[in-house]
Structure 1
C-alpha cells in the first residue's frame, strides 16, 4: 500500500532529503520510501520506481513529497514525526551558522557587494537560469550540480568568456582557491603548484599526494568533465591555465583530464608549451608522451604528483610508501579465482584502475563500455558508482555508501572474484566515516565466502590528508584492523590487486621529471581578465546557492560567504519564471 504525504512550500536540498530517505528506509515495517522535492525530474523518478500516486499530481517544486510503501498505515505518522524532527534540526543548525542567509539575489549582493563567486549545488534543471544571473552580476560560477544539458554549459561558458569570467563545471566536484576548499575538497597545504582539472577525484588524488610528499597547492580549478570535449573545446581549461600562468603564487601548473578530443588536446598542449612556467599533464587512460618543451607527461595520478613536487621544489620526491598493511597476503585462491572487481566513488580513479587492469591482462582498450561500467571484460569489472545511472534519486557515493555496500555482497558471491578494489575519498562534503560504514559489509562478505571455502581480498586506497575532517590516518587504521589491504594511492592499490592474482603490471617508461633542458615558452603571455586575476589574489567571496555545508567550509577557511536559501522561482513554474525574469 502506498501512502503519500506532501509538505507544501518547505524547500530542502536534495542531498539532505536523500540521506533522510536512507534513514527512514531502515525503519521497521517500511518496504520502500522516497522523500524528494516535487520537481519534474523527481516526479519522473517516482514514476520510474513505481512510487507515483495520484496525490503527486498537485505537487510543486517547492513541496516535499513523501511516498511510503507499507502494510502498516500507522507508519505514516511515525515517518512524518521523523521528518518534522529533521526539519526542526535543520532550522536550528542553520541558525547557529555565523554568516548571513538570504532568499534573493538582490539581498545577497547587498550583504556581500564585493562577491566574486557563485557556488551552485541546486537541481540541474534550474542551474542555467541562476548561472546566467550570476554572470550578469559579474560573478565567476562554480557549478557542483550535475544533469545540466551540454548546450547550456556551452552557452554559459561562451558568455563567461565574453565577460572575462570563469564557469567551473557543471558537475565540478572540487576546487581550492587560495587555501579555501570548495565543494568536495580536501585540506591540503598551500604551496607552489597550481592545478586545472576536468576531474574532481583526479584533483583530489593529486593534491593530497602532493601534500603528503611535503608540497603544497596554490589553487585547484575544476572545469567539469565535459570541458575538454570537442563541443566545449576546453574553454575553462584554457582560461584556467592562463590564470595560473599569471598567478604570482603558482610556479608549476598541473593539468588533469580523461583523454580529450585530439584537437582539443593539441590546443591545450600548445598553450602549455607557450608558457614561462613548467607543467605536468596527465590524460588518464593514455600512455605518457615524450616531453614537449616545458611540459612533462605522466602515466598515473601518483606519478603526476611526484613529478610536480620534483619540478616545483627542486628535490627528488619518492612516491608515497606502500602501507605494508596486511603484510604479504595469503594467496590461497582457488584456480577459478582470477577476477578483479572495482567499486569506485571517483570516476577518474575508476578510469585509472580500468587502464591498469587492461594493461596487465592484455585486454585492448575500447571506446565503448557497457552501461554502468567503466570496464567489464573477461570477468573483470570496474564501476564508477558516481555515474548518473547509480545516482538518480540517491546521493553521490562519497556521501552515501548504500549502493557500494550492496555491490560488495553481490561481487563477493561471484566464484571467480579474487579481489575487490575500492576507494575511500575523504574531505569536506564526503561521508564522516566511510571506512566505518563499509567495514560491516566487508566482514559479512568475507565470512560468507569463507564458509564456501573461498578467500576474497579487499584492497583499498584512501584519498585524503590528516588535516581532513575524517583524518587520513584514522580511516586507514580502521580499514587495516578490519583486514583490508590499504595503499597510499590508487595505482598502488591496483598493483597490489594485480600482484595477488599473479599479474604484475608491465613497466611503462615515464620520462624523468628532471627540469634539465626544459624550454620556456616564447609566446606572449596569455591575456588574463582582471576579474580572474582578482579571484586568485585572495580568499574567495562566495554566494552559495544550495548545500549549506559548502558555506560552512568556506566560512571556516576565512572566505566570505552568504548562504542563498534558494528555491525555484514562481513555485517552479518555468513559463511564469521566464515572464518574471523578462519583466525585471
Structure 2
C-alpha cells in the first residue's frame, strides 16, 4: 500500500469545503484512507496517528494525504488538485481589486453585516470568534476542538455585549430563513428553536414543517453550552431573543441532559417567558420539566408536535408514540422469520442526538447496548471495529471521523459498517438514520440501498432474515427530496419510520421479541 501527500502553502479552505473534497477523494476506487486538512498542530498529530505521514505544523498550509494503490493515490491527488484550484462560481458581480482577507475588512466594506460564521481549525477558532465579537457581530462557531475555557471566555464577552455565540461545534442553524451548516429546507413560520444538538434541531424543524407549520429561527448553542462550566449562556440568550422576536409565538428548547443547576436556570427563564415554551431534555421525565407555560416533551418528535399544536392555538397533548396493529403484525412476522441465533440490535447513526435518543428508548424497553457514546446504564464498546451484543453507534463522533469526512457528507464508512452488521449471524435488526439537507451527500441512499439488497439476499441464502428500520430526517424541499429517499429505502425492504423515536421503538420491539438481553 502506498502513502502519498501534497501540501498547498498559504491555501485556506473552510471545514465543510475540506470535508467535501475529502469525500470525493475517498470515493476513488483503491483509496484506503484519505484526509484533507489544514496543517494545524491537532491535524498534523491526527495524520501521524492515522499512519498518513509526518508533517510540519504550518497552520496556513493545506495538506492532502492518501493511502492505497499507487494508481489510486496518483488519481486522488490529481482530483484534489483540481478541486482545490477551482475558482468559486462567478456571482456576476465585479470583484474588488483588493480581496477581503479578514473579518474587519468585511465589516468595513459592509457595516450592515451582523453575523460571522467561523469554520477554521479548532486551535484558531476562538481567536477568530473573539475578533468577530469585538466588531459587534454575533458568531456561529462551526469548528470543534475549542477548549471549555475558551468557550466560556467567548460567551462571557458575548453576554456582556448582548451578542450570541452559537457553538463551538454548532453544526446547524436557520437565521431569518437562511440555513447555515447542516440544515434542512423548511417553511418559515411561528416556531423558534434553540438547540444544543444539531441533528436534534434538524428533526424538530423538519417535523414542524411536515406538520404544516414553520420555523422563525433555529439557533444552535453547541453541545457543551448546558454543562455546568458554561452555564447555558447561549441557550438563555437564544430564549430571550426568541421571546422578544415578534415573528415567534412558540419556542422549543432541545438538549441532551443539562447539568441540574443549568437545567433549573433554563427552566426558570422559560417559565418567565411571555410565550409558551416546549422543552425536550433527552432522557428527562417530562413531568419534571412541565410548569406554568412550560411543556415537557418525551422525544424530539413529540416536542415538534406539541409546538405545532400550541402555534395553532390549541393545548398540546403529550401523546406517546404507539405501534399500530398493522406494524405490530409486520414486526411479529419479521421476528418469527429470524434464525435462532439472531438476537441483537445494531444501530448505525450519523446523528449523535439520534444515537443518544435511540439508546434511551431501547433502555426504557430493557435493552442494554454498548456504544462509543453510551448513555447512563450502557457501556462503552471496547473495540469500535466489531459490535458486541446490542450495539448502537454514533458514526459521526470523533473516533470515526478523525481524518475522514463526516458520514452525512460521505456515508461510505457508515454504509460499510451496515454491510458488516448484516453479515453478522447474530444481527436481528439494523437500525439507522439518513440525514438530508444542505451539507449532506447528494444521494445518501444510493449505495445503501444496493448494500441492503445484496447483503440481505446473502443472509436469506444462509437462512437468516434481517430487519431494517430507518428514519429519514428531511423534507421534500431538501435538495435530496425526502419522498424519493423514503421510496428508495422502502423498495429495498426497509421499514421507514416517521421519527427517530418511532424507529427506535420498532427496533426495541423486535429485540424484545427476539429475547432482549436474556
2:34/2:403 contact within 8 Å kept: no
Distance 1:275 1:308 in 2: 15
Q: Which runs of no fewer than 5 residues in structure 1 stay unpaired? A: 505-584
Q: Say whether residues 1:393 and 2:395 are aligned partners.
A: no
| 2:358 match | 353
Kindly indicate whether the alpha-carbon contact (under 8 Å) linking 1:254 and 1:308 is maintained by their aligned counterparts in 2.
yes
* Residue of structure 2 in register with 1:270 after alignment: 268
Deviations for 1:221-248, whole angstroms, at most 9, x for unmatched residues?
1111111101001001111111111111
- The correspondence of residues 127-526 of structure 1 with structure 2, limited to 5 A, is 127-289=125-287, 291-315=290-314, 328=330, 330-331=333-334, 332-361=337-366, 363=368, 366=376, 369-370=379-380, 379-503=389-513
Residues 472 and 33 of structure 1: is their aligned pair in 2 closer, same or farther, counting only changes over 3 Å? closer
Aligned-partner Cα distance in 1 for 2:35–2:24: 11
Q: Kindly state the Cα deviation for residue 378 of structure 1 after the two structures are TM-superposed.
A: 8.1
> 1:34 touches 1:66 (CA, 8 Å); kept in 2?
yes
Counterpart position of 1:51: 52
CA displacement at 1:448 relative to structure 2: 2.8
Tell me if 1:85 matches 2:86: no
Contact 1:198 1:256 in 2 (8 A): yes
Q: Distance in 2 between matches of 1:48 and 1:282?
A: 38
Q: Does 1:120 align with 2:130?
A: no
Distance 1:80 1:494, change over 3 A: closer
Change (3 A) 1:427 1:380: same
Write the distance in 2 (CA, Å) between the matches of 1:68 and 1:246: 50
Matched residue of 1:479: which SS? helix
Cα distance in 2 for partners of 1:127, 1:394 equals 20
**Does the 8 A contact of 2:3 with 2:73 survive in 1?**
no
Q: CA deviation at 1:99?
A: 9.5
Structure 1 counterpart SS, 2:59? coil
> Could you tell which deviates more after superposition, 462-471 or 1-10?
1-10
> Structure 1 residues 24 and 326 mapped into 2: Cα distance closer, same or farther (>3 Å)?
farther
Aligned counterpart, 1:95: 90
Q: Give per-residue Cα distances to partners, 1:315-362, cap 9 Å, x unaligned.
A: 478989999899936421123222111111111111111011011126
CA distance in 2, matches of 1:359, 1:383: 18
Change (3 A) 1:333 1:28: closer
SS in structure 2 at match of 1:204 = helix
1:62 positional shift:
2.7
Q: Distance in 2 between matches of 1:485 and 1:204?
A: 21
Bigger relative CO (Cα 8 Å, ≥ 6 apart):
1
Aligned residues: 497
Cα 1:423–1:30 change in 2 (3 A) is closer
1:443 offset after TM fit, Å?
2.3
Query: SS at 1:194's partner residue?
Result: strand
Q: 1:381 to 1:284 in 2, by over 3 A?
A: same
Q: Which range is displaced more, 246-255 or 326-335?
A: 326-335
Stretches of structure 2 that go unaligned for 5 or more consecutive residues are 370-374
Q: 1:487 to 1:95 in 2, by over 3 A?
A: same
- Look up the match of 2:372: none
Are the counterparts in 2 of residues 373 and 381 from structure 1 also a CA contact under 8 Å? no
Alpha-carbon contact 1:372-1:387 (below 8 Å) kept: no
Q: In the alignment, does 2:42 pair up with 1:41? A: yes
Instruction: With the length of structure 2 as denominator, give the TM-score of the two structures.
Output: 0.88
Q: TM-score by structure 1 length?
A: 0.78
Q: Aligned-pair distance for 1:125?
A: 1.2
